[in-house]
Structure 1
C-alpha cells in the first residue's frame, strides 16, 4: 500500500546517487550526509546522475520501504538549488510535480557502419 501523503516531511538529496544502493546504504546517506534520522518517519528522495531513476526511502509501520521509479523516456525536472546543501526540504506538491512533469528528451541515433 502506498503511504505517502501531504502531511509528511520530504527531503530531496541534491547530489546524484548510485541507484544500486538499497536500504542500508541509503539510510547511511540520510544519517551521515543529510544529518537526519530515518526513524523519524520523514521521506527521503534520491535521483541518479541522468535524472532517469528515483528512489524514495520511507519508514512505515512494518519497516523501511523503497519506492522506485525508472523512466523509459524523459528525465525528472528537479527544483534548482541556490547553494549546495545536504538536503533540500520539499513539499508534497513539489514531489508530485517532479514525478508528473517529466521533461521529454530527444535522443539522436548514431549511424551504424555497415560491415560487408
Structure 2
C-alpha cells in the first residue's frame, strides 16, 4: 500500500459517496463539496453506503492515484454520518485501512527529557 508520510494531510469524507465515481469524479467532489485542492498531495478517503468499501484518492505530483479496498467481515469503522470532512493522523488512517477501530488510536504522550544536571544517578 502507498502510505502517507506524517507530513501529509489526510481528509476523511464523513458522508458516503457514489462509488461509481472514478478519479475525476472524486477529484471534482473534493473541489465542489470540500473546497479543497485534490492536487495538493493530500489523501482523500471516501466511504461507500455500505461499511465494506473504501476509496483513497491522492496526487503524487505526476498523476492521480486511486486505491479501492473491499474489506471482509464486519466492515470499516466510520464516524457518524455528517457532511464535510474530518482529518486523520497517519496512525488513524492506517488503522482505518486495516479495519481496526481508528477512534481508539491516540497520539503517544510527548515527554520532554529532563536536562542532565551533572550529578551521578548510579545505584550501587
Q: Same fold (TM over 0.5)?
A: yes
Where in structure 2 are there 5+ consecutive unaligned residues?
A: 102-124
Aligned equivalent of 2:8 = 8
Aligned equivalent of 1:112 = none
Aligned equivalent of 1:101 = 99
- Of 69, 83, 91, the residue aligned with 2:89 is 91
- Mapped pair 1:25 → 2:25: yes
Where in structure 1 are there 5+ consecutive unaligned residues?
A: 104-116
**Shift of the alpha carbon at 1:45?**
0.3
Aligned equivalent of 2:68 = 68
Runs (4+) off by over 4 Å: none
In the alignment, the residues of structure 1 paired with residue 43 and residue 54 of structure 2 have an alpha-carbon distance, to the nearest angstrom, of 13
Secondary structure in 1 matching 2:68? strand
In the alignment, the residues of structure 2 paired with residue 63 and residue 71 of structure 1 have an alpha-carbon distance, to the nearest angstrom, of 26
| TM-score computed with the length of structure 2 as normaliser | 0.72
Residues 64 and 34 of structure 1, relative CA distance in 2, 3 Å threshold? same
In the alignment, the residues of structure 2 paired with residue 32 and residue 99 of structure 1 have an alpha-carbon distance, to the nearest angstrom, of 25
Q: 5 Å matches for 1:35-50?
A: 35-50=35-50
